[in-house]
């Protein structure tokens, strides 16, 4: 029988650059399995420990750490080497004082930053779907694979400040003019700018945003930016 979830390994030459792995080491590296984040925008838990933050030196040590329940992602213990860690995820390690959040920085899609203890229970999640289901209930889906049936007064493209792990919505940040926004992908990944205007999509063009980054303005697809606050980020992003 074959695995229904795809291969567990990936050629190192094909791995995303932000993983931080050595290219000319062994031929293969473990990869992510289907989960909360898309494969090209996530890091496997074992690779994160060994190559990204270098808290362990080998895959054997990574296995021992993960299988013993010493890794929490968004407040939940994860025991899979292949669990996908992605944008805005919070990572805690048992007996380690540092707490990490993955954010885009300096053109890299994902990079871990250290956050303080008070920040670990908050996470920014971008609304990506609003779906009507039976009995008139609306299901809201977020960028990290979460969904909720609770009433959320947010549109696709807005950001919610979520309390983790209980998924309580604390605040909604609208995608609108005057708001601060974080670029999540592309050559400007990690830059924070002010939204000047929001251009609605057409049959040909997607929804776009005019974003002011320092002394320049760029037009960027709305699906690769995340509103983060009115005047400044509502959580630690640097």
Task: Flag whether pLDDT at 226 surpasses 50.
Answer: yes
Q: Are residue 112 and residue 126 in the same domain, yes or no?
A: no
- Shared domain for 22 and 94, answered yes or no, is yes
**CB within 8 A of 98, min separation 6: which ones?**
114
Whether residue 64 is found in the same domain as residue 82: yes
* Angular region, 181: left φ>0, alpha ψ -120 to 50, beta rest: beta
Same domain, 70 and 92: yes
Can you give the residue range of the structural domain that contains 25? 9-119
Helix (H, G, I), strand (E, B) or coil at 62: helix
Count of structural domains, the chain: 3
Q: Categorize the per-residue pLDDT at 1 as very low, low, confident or very high, splitting at 50, 70 and 90.
A: very low
Over 90: is that where the pLDDT of 72 sits?
yes
pLDDT tens readout for residues 118-166:
999 999 999 999 999 888 899 999 999 999 998 999 999 999 999 999 9
pTM of the predicted protein model? 0.91
Does 56 map to a domain? yes
Give Cβ neighbours of residue 174 (< 8 Å, ≥ 6 apart): 154, 155, 158, 227
Q: 129 and 109 share a domain?
A: no
What pLDDT score does 3 carry? 54
Whether residue 71 is found in the same domain as residue 153: no
Mean pLDDT of 64-77: 96
Specify whether 30 is located in the same domain as 111: yes
Give me the CATH number covering residue 140: 2.40.50.740
CATH number, residue 13: 3.10.290.10
Q: Which two tokens stand for residue 184?
A: 């999540």
Q: How far apart are CA 87 and CA 98, in angstroms?
A: 18
- Of 206 and 49, the structure prediction assigns the larger pLDDT to 49
Q: Check whether residue 93 and residue 130 sit in a common domain.
A: no
Tell me, rounded to whole angstroms, the distance of Cα 171 from its chain centroid: 18
What do you get for the CA distance between the two ends of the chain, in Å?
46
Nearest of 142, 134, 104 to residue 237 by alpha carbon: 104
Residue 41 sits in the same domain as residue 94: yes
The verdict on residue 237 lying in a domain is no
Torsion, CA 47, CA 117, CA 115, CA 179, rounded to 10: 120
The C-alpha angle with vertex 74 and arms to 69 and 79, in degrees rounded to 5, equals 25
**Domain check: are 16 and 111 in the same one?**
yes
Q: 151 lies in a domain?
A: yes
Residues 171 and 19: their CA atoms lie apart, in Å, by 31
H or E, element range at 140 = strand 138-142
**Is residue 34 located within the same domain as residue 58?**
yes
Residue in this structure with the two tokens 């995340």, named with its chain if needed: 226
Contacts of 72 (CB under 8 A, 6+ apart): 78, 91, 92, 93, 94
Question: Between 1 and 209, where is the model more confident?
Answer: 209
Examine the pLDDT at 201 and tell me if it is beyond 90: no
Residue 238 included in any domain: no
């Amino acid at each position: 029988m074959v695995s229904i979830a795809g291969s567990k390994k990936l050629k190192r030459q094909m791995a995303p650059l932000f993983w931080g792995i050595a290219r000319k080491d062994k031929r293969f590296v473990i990869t992510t399995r289907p989960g909360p984040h898309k494969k090209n925008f996530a890091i496997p838990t074992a690779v994160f420990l060994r190559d990204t933050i270098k808290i362990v030196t080998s895959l054997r040590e990574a296995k021992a750490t993960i299988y013993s329940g010493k890794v929490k992602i968004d407040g939940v213990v994860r025991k899979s080497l292949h669990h996908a860690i992605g944008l805005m995820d919070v990572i805690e390690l048992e007996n380690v004082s540092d707490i990490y959040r993955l954010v885009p920085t300096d053109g890299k899609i994902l990079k871990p930053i250290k956050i303080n203890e008070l920040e670990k229970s908050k996470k920014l999640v971008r609304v990506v779907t609003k779906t009507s289901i039976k009995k008139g209930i609306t299901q809201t889906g977020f960028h990290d694979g979460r969904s909720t049936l609770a009433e959320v007064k947010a549109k696709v493209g807005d950001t919610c400040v979520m309390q983790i792990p209980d998924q309580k919505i604390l605040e909604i940040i609208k995608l609108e003019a005057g708001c601060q926004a974080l670029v999540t992908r592309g050559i400007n990944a990690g830059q924070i700018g002010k939204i000047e205007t929001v251009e609605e999509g057409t049959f040909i063009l997607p929804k776009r945003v005019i974003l002011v980054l320092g002394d320049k303005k760029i037009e960027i697809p709305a699906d690769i930016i995340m509103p983060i606050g009115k005047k400044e980020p509502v959580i630690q992003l640097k």
